[in-house]
A = this chain, B = another copy of it.
């Protein structure tokens, strides 16, 4: 069963640019704090504990699948556990977010990084994938994911979050050789992690380069793109791949030039403009402004129709938000959105 197509394989078909009867939908952060079912668990559990408990992670993964008619599930995990597996001491501090107590600042810090072995160090996520696949009973596909090397490097060097990682870019400019070494190590880690997720049953994956958008076009080409490209080249061909970067509209030509199946777009960019730049003969994912779901049903559905219309000329389209679901989003509106995308796109 593991390798047979899911009952609803619309998402996978769309990833491959094949014809579909309706536009498939999933939402970034579809399992999250906007859902009361999620909050009921999260209230009693630190987030890392939730992720490291495979049964619980699988339960959370299935919550939006049970609540809504999504066309794909995405494993409940965090991009930062890979850095923890590589030896960085991770703590989620309430009200402050993730903190690494031993950030990367020197050659010896890079040397001290462990080569992560996902089957050993991230077994909890791999097991959560197996349980989720089991619970999904092949009704819809399961998406795996990882942070991209650049975004992981941002957190590793900054020692946590930042407004726009000025200090990380400064460190990168000052230490280009060490930066390349760090990126090599992280890329190996990401490749191993995603391969292991695919082995465990992930039927597609998304690479989140959440912070690549803080680089200029030229610096992205030099300090990030070579490693993202290497990652896609090495993982190519097994399952469909998706790239997503928030605020990365200026980088899309370079991303489109990589061996990636689906190009994720944030809500800012105009689909028509993107297709003018990199063509209609691609599969795109996106890109409704998540703020519309905070506003009203009509703002949500009007926006959904605009997104569907805009991507109509593309070879393939997977409907998603242009960023994660905001935690104050009403779940009933998510439900309406998903049903409406199915209804509207089936008519098109």
Contacts and interface: CB of A to CB of B under 8 A. Distances in A.
A174 to B, nearest CB: 4
Interface in A161-181: 166-174
A270 B218 CA distance: 7
A82 interface: no
A219 interface: yes
A291 interface: yes
Given A166-B290, A294-B167, A173 B299 contact: yes
Assembly stoichiometry (copies): 2
A267 interface: yes
Q: Interface residues of A toward B: which range?
A: 35 or more
Interface in A286-306: 289-292, 294-296, 299, 306
A171 B269 CA distance: 21
A199 to B, nearest CB: 36
Contacts of A216: 267-270, 289, 322
A275 interface: no
Contacts of A168: 291
Tell me the dominant secondary structure on chain A's binding face: helix
A273 B250 CA distance: 9
A256 interface: no
A228 B54 CA distance: 52
A295 B173 contact: yes
A270 B250 contact: yes
A130 to B, nearest CB: 35
A110 interface: no
Contacts of A219: 289
A214 B170 CA distance: 25
A105 to B, nearest CB: 14
Interface in A92-142: none
A213 B268 contact: yes
A169 B267 CA distance: 12
Contacts of A326: 166
A314 interface: no
Given A216-B268, A216-B270, A247-B247, 4 more contacts: A167-B291, A168-B291, A169-B294, A174-B295
Interface of A: 166-174, 213-219, 247, 249-250, 267-270, 273, 289-292, 294-296, 299, 306, 322, 326, 328
Question: 6 closest A-B pairs (Cβ-Cβ)?
Answer: A170-B294, A173-B295, A169-B291, A217-B270, A173-B299, A174-B295
